[in-house]
């Protein structure tokens, strides 16, 4: 089975722009979660989608949004980029998001905001 | 609010040593706990998922234990190898909102040949 894939792998944007990141989960997985990783804050949960619905949300401003499609692929959007949004963005998938599920992470998208 | 602490923050040992990484968490209302490794600039690789009913899980040279009542988990690595060099992260899995993982800062492990 193919693993979790994320595109693009690297992205450079300037302040004020917006960006869309994509995540394709493992085939058959319906839960997709997004995390932001920075050197200062570590790994922080952004949100989780299951069956096209946002089920959990972390403490991030409304500039961070996401969606999930019927094939379970997910996109994350950040509007009005700030320098502090520079980070590694990771997505993870699991079959149903249940407590017994192992989460499988993708390789991440490295976003640099200039 | 769950807080996760991993000790030590960094560890450098010669190849072949057995070592223990520690993870503590403040909220014991968890269901399971997952250990990951992360290579520099890469995503997370799942190592072990310990279910609270198991208290312990083994995979090859790795053994992880979980004590929910004391809010602790340990990852034991036997006969360490240079390929084990990575950052190791633990994540308690909450009973509610299972996918909303909270991570510590991790333990950066270096195995010297």
Closest chain A C-alpha to B16 CA, distance in angstroms: 29
Q: Is A66 on the interface with B (CB under 8 A)?
A: no
At B73-95, the pLDDT tens digits run 999 999 999 999 999 999 998 87
Q: Give every residue of chain A whose pLDDT is below 70, as ranges.
A: 99
Strand order in the sheet with B56-59: B4-7, B19-25, B72-77, B62-67, B56-59
Q: Is B42 on the interface with A (CB under 8 A)?
A: yes
B3 neighbors B23 (Cβ within 8 angstroms): no
Dihedral over alpha carbons B44, B93, A88, A16 (to 10 degrees): 160
Inter-chain touch A108–B42, beta carbons under 8 Å? yes
Q: What mean pLDDT do residues B56-84 have?
A: 94
At B21-53, the pLDDT tens digits run 999 999 888 888 999 999 988 899 999 988 878
Which residue of chain B is at minimal alpha-carbon distance from A48?
B99
The residues, any chain, with a CB within 8 Å of residue B9's CB and separated by 6 or more, are B105, B106, B107, B108
């Amino acid at each position: 089975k193919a693993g979790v894939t994320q595109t693009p792998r690297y992205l450079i944007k300037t302040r004020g722009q917006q960006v869309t990141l994509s995540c394709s989960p493992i085939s058959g997985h319906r839960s997709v979660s997004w995390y932001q990783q920075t050197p200062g804050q570590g790994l922080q949960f952004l949100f989780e989608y299951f069956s096209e619905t946002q089920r959990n949300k972390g403490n991030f401003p409304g500039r961070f949004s996401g969606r999930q499609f019927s094939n379970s692929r997910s996109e994350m959007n950040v509007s009005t980029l700030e320098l502090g949004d520079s980070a590694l963005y990771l997505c993870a998938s699991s079959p149903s998001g249940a407590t017994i599920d192992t989460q499988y992470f993708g390789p991440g998208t490295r976003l640099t905001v200039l | 609010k769950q807080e996760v602490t991993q000790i030590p923050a960094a560890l450098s040992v010669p190849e072949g040593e057995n070592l223990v990484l520690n993870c503590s968490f403040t909220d014991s209302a968890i269901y399971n706990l997952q250990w990951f490794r992360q290579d520099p600039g890469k995503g997370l690789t799942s190592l072990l998922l310990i279910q609270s009913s198991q208290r312990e899980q083994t995979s090859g040279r790795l053994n992880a234990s979980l004590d929910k009542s004391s809010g602790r988990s340990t990852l034991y690595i036997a006969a360490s190898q240079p390929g084990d060099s990575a950052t190791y992260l633990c994540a308690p899995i909450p009973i509610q909102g299972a996918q909303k993982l909270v991570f510590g800062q991790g333990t950066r492990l270096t195995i010297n040949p």
